[in-house]
Amino acid sequence: MGAGILYNSKTQDWKKFFGVSSVSVLYEYRKTTSRIKSAELRHEIKKEALKQLERDIKLKILELFTKAILYKKLTEVKREEMAIAYVRYDRARQKKDLGISTNLKVYQLESIYREKRKDLLNAQYEYNKALRLDMNALIDVEDLDFKPKVGILGKFSR
């Protein structure tokens, strides 16, 4: 059942009739089904985009954790290398004071020590950059723990 309105182009007026109008109902049905299908597709697209965003966020978090752990280890190694270079330089300086070593050897070891110190500062800079911290601040890397809490990443995978 339905009502329809038709336009008569010869008399230029609208004819109104009431009763059974299958043309109007079918037309409305076709318009409605296409709109419903379009809305369903838009909803599915939004759901897939949200899932992709969640995957991207998880990957970014894992990438940042991996970089931070890598630079933490690199900083520890560079710190050890610098400490060894400093001990060698300090011993050579003491030997020079005793007359056992030459200035050339002391300057060579000082140069190596300064190079290792520069490498340590670069590693700390990269570590801070991975953590998105102030680049000028030197932080103690041994106090930070990078284990994610259990269940945080699982909340987004529904």
Summarize pLDDT for 103-153 with one digit per residue, the tens: 999 999 999 999 999 999 999 888 888 887 654 554 444 444 445 445 544
- pLDDT value at residue 134: 53
Residue type, 56: D
CB 127 within 8 A of CB 100: no
Instruction: Please report, as a single letter, which amino acid is at residue 129.
Output: K
Beta strand spans in 9-152 (E): 13-19
pTM value is 0.52
Residue 130, pLDDT score: 81
pLDDT in tens, 40-99: 898 899 989 889 999 988 888 888 888 888 988 999 999 999 999 999 999 999 999 999
Reply yes or no on whether the pLDDT at 15 is more than 60.
no
Contact 120, 78 (CB under 8 A): yes
Beta bridge partners, 17, equal 4
Break the chain into its structural domains and give their ranges. 2-156
* Cα gap 103→84, rounded to integer Å: 19
Could you give the angle at the alpha carbon of 116 between the alpha carbons of 114 and 119, nearest 5°?
Answer: 110
pLDDT at 2: 42
Of 150, 139, 10, 155, the closest CA to residue 75 belongs to 139
